[in-house]
Structure 1
Amino acid sequence: MTPLARHRRFARIWADPPGWRALGAVNHSTIGLRFIATSLVFFLVGGVLAMLIRAQLASPDAAFLDAEQYQQVFTMHGTVMMFLFAIPMLEGFALYLLPKMLGARDLAYPRLGAYAYWCYLFGGLILLGALFMGAAPAGGWFMYTPLASSTYSPGINADVWLIGVTFAEISAICGAVELVATILSQRTPGMSLARMPLFAWYVLVTASMILIGFPPLILGSILLEVERAFDWPFFDVARGGDPLLWQHLFWMFGHPEVYIIFLPAAGMISTMMPTMARRPLVGHEWIVGSIVVMGFLSFGLWVHHMFTVGIPHLAQAFFSAASMLVTLPTAVQLFAWLGTLWAGRPVWRLPMLYLGGFLFVFVAGGLTGVMLAFAPFNWQAHDTHFVVAHLHYVLVGGMVFPLLAAVYYWMPHATGRMPSEQLGKWAFWMIFIGFNMAFWMMHLTGLLGMPRRIETYPGDVGWNGLNLLSSIGSFVMAVGVALLLLDLFVHARAGRLAPRNPWGAGTLEWAMATPPPTYNIASQPRVQGREPLWDAPGLPADLAGGRGYLAEPRGRLRETLAVSLMSGEPTHVVHLPGPSLLPFCAALATGAAFLAVLFKLYWLVPAGVAAALVLFLVWAWQGGTRSDPEPRDVGGGVSLVSHHASLQAPGWRGTVFALVADATLLAALLFGYAFLWTVAPGWPPPEFLAVGNPLPWLAMACLVASAWLAWRAARPSCAGSPLQASWRLCVSALLSLAAAALLFGYVRTGLPDPTVHAYGAACAALGLYVVIHASTGALIAGFVALRARKGFVSAARRLEPRVAALWQGYCAGAGLVVLLAWYLPVWGIAA
């Protein structure tokens, strides 16, 4: 087959649908670009809100915005920038670039990526719609209680934040599952972990952090919404709650989020720096180690946002030391970048200019971060503009400047055209000078005692000139951003054509045509090193000529290779799903359930949830095969079966990673239970303890039996007999349903009234967690039982029973943990 004929056949197989059916596109390039474009729109909205803030603070006693308007603008600026711009933008880059860098044709779960995008878009529209209708939240982007409680924030303003952010966070979790599964399994042959691009390492750690860091905020949002809607007093001191619980849950997410934002940007730096320096990166192994260490340490820093809330001095010392310790892995990466520049021959093109700006701004932000890590200084600077300045130096320096470098670096790849060097330099200097003018002054106003979050200030306290300079700088920066967007818009359409690999990079994404075809690469290569294009300059021609793996298209199948975790040797062929409107419709149904909660139409919530579940089941039914796959030649003398006969297929790994996030949410709920038990006076009240009720024990027995039957059904001897596997799974489903009914009855009648005391509310929340999971387990087991009866399961194709067994086993384990948590106070008081 000629290269042109091969290209045409692959293009037909991987093409996005035309017209309105493009809503069903699932290709990773399309979804990644949608994330990037949408987050750019949200960035512009957040920038306009920032201009309103600086216009208000430019002069003393200003009346440009009143107090309520200012608080809404301030809250939405932080919310949009943190939740709707930073993480989705970086996630969009990862979705677009990773398969290309890994030599794959798509991500592990194309439809899940599409669902993630629609959830992100709809959640963002909820927040923006509230802003334009004057119902935006006004409690700050951190929504501290009790300010965000119904007592002090009546109406739906705070609910908008809780619902919209939670909806958008679902998107982040879905994207993280997809990225982790793709990086660990869908690489090109020969790409072992040691040869994997550094950007993939950064994204792997980041996505893992999302799976662990986001559930505490999702839990906090759910608990606060439940308190506002149903009066369960998780944060009400008078009824055994504590507002500090919200701060702990928020900052368990909030501080790792800083590194979640920084690490992908640092991955872009580690990808661009060798290209611009014309030599491999110094200290590759050290950088990989520092990424992993930074990911771990980031979860031990959240309390340094709470040094002034009255926590014990020993805890302050511990978190202060941890906050300083995290500078070490950051310094390893910084010195590796500097060493690469020192040992190489840097080319000062546009991407390198923004990387230079990053080095200056981020180092300055890191130094002020070390200052704030000292508790005594933190006590003085807390809640002043010094903290605002530090935050922006770290986030803008650590994310925006690398991001702009990445935009210029990969723009020729995405569009096939080069940007303007001259216009790009003007934009850089205006952004760099304007940013430093705006935020350097805030360090000084903060040291002079200016609090953050105030909408006006008197004219006799010495802040006038500094605030005016800060506002002027912010508008200069805005003009620079406008020039940059003009450059991108004009030259993406009318710029000079870019040669292939214009920067001389060594990573695989430059081995394909620019702009890339929908299928990425005509055949998958076997790589021999970390810089495939530097190792084999003729690789692009070989791949276009079909001298690689999976070079011959088969029917309408979308195929890519899966490899072993460590060695990168091919293990099976993954058949990926094509375009579908199911993700879009499922996101709409999910959004309908969230909107029903927002507008207190609780009778509509089950309808939205049921519609989403039906769509998910239809979505799941379309996968699988009714016959055992035969090995086939994929090229290079290698024969492989499809993923349907693999125990490490995408569905298995995705379930494992989803349960990691799920278990983190349970751990956060148990943390809240233990925290209130520790700090709240008289908690739990002895008269509230329920003793002797057999319902939870019966429910746990049902869950354990259900898990045992599901695991029996997943064994090869049982899966080889579909009818036997089916009836065992049916009984497993019935037992899970019985457990859910028993536990729900216990929550309703055996536990204290959840509106009277936080102990009852916490116990009920733990019980409902198990009820929801047991009900879901019943649905999964019943679905797989039907699939087995219809011929989708055999001794070779037992992925689905294994997934059901994994879920049922997790439910049984979670139930036993919750049972232990319920009875610990009983046993403690009895002792």
Structure 2
Amino acid sequence: MNDERAMQQQPGRTPAPPHLKDGPGPGSPEAAALDATWRDPPGLLGWLAAVNHKAIARRFIVTTFCFFVAGGLLAFVMRLQLARPGARLVGPDLYNQLFTMHGSTMMFLFAVPVMQAVAVYLLPLMLGTRSVAFPRLNAFAYWIFLFGGLMLYAVFALGAAPDVGWFSYVPLAGPDYSPGKRTDFWAQMITFTELSALLEAIVVITTVFKLRAPGMALNRIPLFAWAMLVTAFMVLFAMPAVMLASTTLITDRLVGTHFYNPAEGGDAVLWQHLFWFFGHPEVYLIFLPGLGFLSAIIPTFARRPIFGYTAMVLALIATAFLAFGLWVHHMFAVNLPELGKSFFTAASMLIAIPSAVQIFCWIATLCSGRIDFKTPLLFALGFFFILVLGGLTGIMLASVPLDLQVHDSYFVVAHLHYVLIGGAVFPLFGAFYYWYPKITGRLMSERLGRWNFWLFFVGFNVTFFPMHLLGLRGMPRRVYTYQAGLGWDTLNLVATLGSWVIALSALLFVVNALRSLRRGAPAGPNPWGAGTLEWATESPPPPCNFHAIPVVHGRDPLWEPPRTAADGGQPPFTHVGGLAAHTRELLATTVLDARPDLRVNFPDPTIWPLVSALAVTVLFIGSIFTPWAVVWGSIPIAIALTAWFWPRRAETAVHLRLEQGP
């Protein structure tokens, strides 16, 4: 691609096309003007009105990590209860609330949102642009997520938390067996969080497709961007199923419909089909971003480009397709046709192939490189061991006869945690250590990081490996106590001791992160010597991310060789010039080849996404108590959205000046 010629081929009414030039320096007047333009307003009102993707992503990350700690504390209490037979730390009702809140927190308030939060921070930096698409929608998605999580924990504090499991099976969750409002709050929490996830998916897809730097064709984007793009498309297809399921559940409970009532022509198994059509892809909604983290970390510390880029991309896409054909994997104990079960057994085994392709590509990258064993890479290597073991037990559970024997036992609990923590939390910790210097400008302590890794690795295996044996010895899930002499005592005690080690590791991570904010070594723009674009700007990045939009010539722009001796060993960057500095103007590019397409003016910060989220929250919570809340609650939402999209005279004047040109 001829970048200079491409930059001059701008369609539409843009009179002054951007041109290639060297970017302005950080201290130049143009850079100062860009920073002032893209910076969120000061003060409390400015904080509430913020739309900068980095600010929203930091709030998302901190909020999801707080929910992670809360969910971990709930699990810790459960382990204390089960450490000895006949314990009376908590009663059966509170225990039901604990395991429901723990599962709901980890699956809906932590695992998927934190992956999307990291993507919202990193993708514009990786793709060489100044913002995510739809920045106000991004802010709205955060507020909706926050209010949904706070609602769930508020009812938990009031003793009215849901108590029917994080999958809320009917008829147990129906009006006959679960009176009161507990399940209704759970169903509305689903609506909150899945609405937020759908909005973030729209933001991610549009950002990856239309806001890439010129020259960054689809075969040049980082594998992390591919992973998040595939995940976002999965969200669009998976989340509506669980939103439909939770909505029909709440109408059964509050309005008197009979979607899941067999006596009136409904079907209780319909709930399982709808829920697990979302539930099994959700495992990969958590897993695929983790693979993207590893595909960023491993090449950096192997000091070589990723092996098998095309195979890695195809493996991500194949995993997404196969993930939607596995949901009956969770329903082998249901009275379904045996021939149908055999097809899902085959699909459950087949999905291991694309995952294996990626693992072999990472191993090839490491074997052909010069490995630097830093903390992020340690968590990546820990992922290999944990995920392979979890994958092996997944292949075992794909066998219908074995699944029937261990269904709803602690063997399934062990498998679930090996897959989810191995496939998500280990890569996530590695990602925190890897990108922490980019977010804060300081490095985390390497010594504390190694302690964090080894304590977490050992504590995890001590906690969850004995659960395989407990399941094979017949210990069922979701029991709050057990009798002595069943052969479960020692294994439960060992698992509880392991949970103490995990808690110590998590505490050490928090100490390391907070300590490094002030006392960490200054990072510089690229402390790891990585090759992707997020390391081409300052640490932490300026409000506009890049003072000049770079033009990309390869998959690893910072590792591209210099074109002339005058480059002085620096990457051969050319930059896009001609974009306005006094307004939030961005360059949109074509989907396939990232050729310059349009100049887009982005909206300024506003309080209306927050106001709209509050109005939606009132409607959702009010509908738990009366269906009329849907009618009357629509009025403030309409007012808030009208104010949100109402054009401001100053912004309109800027748009007209840009269209008319100089």
The TM-score with structure 2 as length reference comes to 0.93
- Structure 1: distance between partners of 2:593 and 2:202: 22
For 2:575, the equivalent position in structure 1 comes to 548
- Structure 2: distance between partners of 1:391 and 1:223: 27
- Structure 2: distance between partners of 1:527 and 1:364: 40
Which one of the candidate residues 21, 29, 39 is aligned to 1:15? 39
Contact 1:529 1:535 in 2 (8 A): yes
For 2:8, the equivalent position in structure 1 comes to none
Q: Does 1:593 align with 2:619?
A: yes
For 1:36, the equivalent position in structure 2 comes to 61
- Structure 2: distance between partners of 1:333 and 1:115: 35
Contact 2:222 2:532 in 1 (8 A): yes
Q: Does 1:377 align with 2:402?
A: yes
Q: C-alpha offsets along residues 383-438 of structure 1, whole Å, 9 cap, x if unaligned?
A: 00000000000000000000000000001111111111111111111111010000
Q: Which amino acid in structure 2 is aligned with residue 163 of structure 1?
A: Q
Q: Does 1:24 align with 2:49?
A: yes
Following TM superposition, by how much is the alpha carbon of 1:164 offset from its aligned partner in structure 2, in angstroms? 1.4
Which one of the candidate residues 630, 644, 654 is aligned to 1:619? 644
Q: Does 1:606 align with 2:631?
A: yes
Secondary structure of 1:233's aligned partner: coil
For 1:308, the equivalent position in structure 2 comes to 333
For 2:142, the equivalent position in structure 1 comes to 117
For 2:606, the equivalent position in structure 1 comes to 580
For 1:704, the equivalent position in structure 2 comes to none
For 1:104, the equivalent position in structure 2 comes to 129
Q: C-alpha offsets along residues 117-174 of structure 1, whole Å, 9 cap, x if unaligned?
A: 0000000001010111110000000000000011111111001100112111110000
- Structure 2: distance between partners of 1:450 and 1:206: 35
Which one of the candidate residues 282, 298, 309 is aligned to 1:273? 298
For 1:211, the equivalent position in structure 2 comes to 236
- For the structure 1 residues 423 and 74, does the alpha-carbon distance in structure 2 shift closer, same or farther, using more than 3 Å as the test? same
Secondary structure of 1:145's aligned partner: coil
For 1:494, the equivalent position in structure 2 comes to 519
Following TM superposition, by how much is the alpha carbon of 1:43 offset from its aligned partner in structure 2, in angstroms? 0.4
Which one of the candidate residues 182, 200, 212 is aligned to 2:207? 182
- Structure 2: distance between partners of 1:552 and 1:111: 21
For 1:326, the equivalent position in structure 2 comes to 351
Contact 1:542 1:548 in 2 (8 A): no
For 1:433, the equivalent position in structure 2 comes to 458
- Structure 2: distance between partners of 1:93 and 1:541: 34
Following TM superposition, by how much is the alpha carbon of 1:614 offset from its aligned partner in structure 2, in angstroms? 2.2
Secondary structure of 2:597's aligned partner: strand
For 2:592, the equivalent position in structure 1 comes to 566
- For the structure 1 residues 467 and 82, does the alpha-carbon distance in structure 2 shift closer, same or farther, using more than 3 Å as the test? same
Q: Does 1:454 align with 2:479?
A: yes
Q: Which amino acid in structure 2 is aligned with residue 73 of structure 1?
A: L
Following TM superposition, by how much is the alpha carbon of 1:17 offset from its aligned partner in structure 2, in angstroms? 1.4
Q: Which amino acid in structure 2 is aligned with residue 10 of structure 1?
A: L
- Structure 2: distance between partners of 1:490 and 1:108: 34
- Structure 1: distance between partners of 2:196 and 2:276: 20
For 1:507, the equivalent position in structure 2 comes to 532
Secondary structure of 2:540's aligned partner: coil
For 2:498, the equivalent position in structure 1 comes to 473
- For the structure 1 residues 547 and 529, does the alpha-carbon distance in structure 2 shift closer, same or farther, using more than 3 Å as the test? closer
Following TM superposition, by how much is the alpha carbon of 1:545 offset from its aligned partner in structure 2, in angstroms? 13
- Structure 1: distance between partners of 2:562 and 2:510: 34
Secondary structure of 2:588's aligned partner: strand
For 2:435, the equivalent position in structure 1 comes to 410
Q: Which amino acid in structure 1 is aligned with residue 196 of structure 2?
A: S
Contact 1:522 1:543 in 2 (8 A): no
For 2:217, the equivalent position in structure 1 comes to 192
For 1:6, the equivalent position in structure 2 comes to 30
Larger RCO, structures 1/2 (Cα 8 Å, 6+ apart): 2
Following TM superposition, by how much is the alpha carbon of 1:368 offset from its aligned partner in structure 2, in angstroms? 0.4
Contact 2:463 2:494 in 1 (8 A): yes
For 2:87, the equivalent position in structure 1 comes to 62
Secondary structure of 2:576's aligned partner: coil
Contact 2:30 2:581 in 1 (8 A): no
Following TM superposition, by how much is the alpha carbon of 1:312 offset from its aligned partner in structure 2, in angstroms? 0.5
- Structure 1: distance between partners of 2:553 and 2:177: 62
Following TM superposition, by how much is the alpha carbon of 1:550 offset from its aligned partner in structure 2, in angstroms? 3.8
Following TM superposition, by how much is the alpha carbon of 1:540 offset from its aligned partner in structure 2, in angstroms? 11
- Structure 2: distance between partners of 1:364 and 1:372: 13
Following TM superposition, by how much is the alpha carbon of 1:629 offset from its aligned partner in structure 2, in angstroms? 6.3
Which structure has the bigger radius of gyration? 1
Q: C-alpha offsets along residues 544-582 of structure 1, whole Å, 9 cap, x if unaligned?
A: 999511465442x11121111111101011111111001
The TM-score with structure 1 as length reference comes to 0.74
Q: Which amino acid in structure 2 is aligned with residue 486 of structure 1?
A: V
With 2-11 and 246-255 compared, the bigger mean Cα shift is at 2-11
Q: Does 1:148 align with 2:173?
A: yes
Following TM superposition, by how much is the alpha carbon of 1:62 offset from its aligned partner in structure 2, in angstroms? 1.1
Q: Which amino acid in structure 1 is aligned with residue 417 of structure 2?
A: H
- Structure 1: distance between partners of 2:439 and 2:25: 25
- Structure 2: distance between partners of 1:560 and 1:537: 27
- Structure 2: distance between partners of 1:301 and 1:631: 55
Contact 1:187 1:568 in 2 (8 A): yes
- For the structure 1 residues 541 and 575, does the alpha-carbon distance in structure 2 shift closer, same or farther, using more than 3 Å as the test? farther
Identity over aligned residues, as a percent?
A: 47
- Structure 2: distance between partners of 1:101 and 1:579: 23
- Structure 1: distance between partners of 2:552 and 2:307: 21
For 2:444, the equivalent position in structure 1 comes to 419
| Equivalences for residues 700-779 of structure 1 within 5 A | none
- Structure 2: distance between partners of 1:470 and 1:250: 30
For 1:386, the equivalent position in structure 2 comes to 411
Following TM superposition, by how much is the alpha carbon of 1:537 offset from its aligned partner in structure 2, in angstroms? 6.7
Contact 2:301 2:372 in 1 (8 A): yes
Structure 2's unaligned 5+ residue stretches are 1-23
Q: Which amino acid in structure 1 is aligned with residue 34 of structure 2?
A: F
- Structure 2: distance between partners of 1:547 and 1:340: 29
Structure 1's unaligned 5+ residue stretches are 634-831
- Structure 2: distance between partners of 1:153 and 1:277: 54
- Structure 1: distance between partners of 2:546 and 2:491: 54
Secondary structure of 2:587's aligned partner: strand
For 1:788, the equivalent position in structure 2 comes to none
For 2:17, the equivalent position in structure 1 comes to none
Which one of the candidate residues 388, 395, 413 is aligned to 1:363? 388
- For the structure 1 residues 279 and 580, does the alpha-carbon distance in structure 2 shift closer, same or farther, using more than 3 Å as the test? same
- Structure 2: distance between partners of 1:253 and 1:37: 26
Q: Which amino acid in structure 1 is aligned with residue 575 of structure 2?
A: G
Contact 1:188 1:526 in 2 (8 A): yes
- Structure 2: distance between partners of 1:123 and 1:608: 17
- Structure 1: distance between partners of 2:272 and 2:184: 17
Contact 2:552 2:573 in 1 (8 A): no
- Structure 1: distance between partners of 2:548 and 2:632: 46
- Structure 2: distance between partners of 1:253 and 1:547: 44
- Structure 2: distance between partners of 1:129 and 1:175: 25
- For the structure 1 residues 152 and 550, does the alpha-carbon distance in structure 2 shift closer, same or farther, using more than 3 Å as the test? farther
For 1:222, the equivalent position in structure 2 comes to 247
Q: Which amino acid in structure 2 is aligned with residue 104 of structure 1?
A: T
Q: C-alpha offsets along residues 510-546 of structure 1, whole Å, 9 cap, x if unaligned?
A: 0000011111001111111000000157999999999
- Structure 2: distance between partners of 1:309 and 1:632: 66
- Structure 1: distance between partners of 2:408 and 2:608: 46
Contact 2:551 2:573 in 1 (8 A): no
Q: C-alpha offsets along residues 579-638 of structure 1, whole Å, 9 cap, x if unaligned?
A: 10010000000000011012x1333332322211222223223289585964869xxxxx
- Structure 2: distance between partners of 1:628 and 1:560: 15
Secondary structure of 1:160's aligned partner: helix
With 537-546 and 612-621 compared, the bigger mean Cα shift is at 537-546
Number of residue equivalences: 631
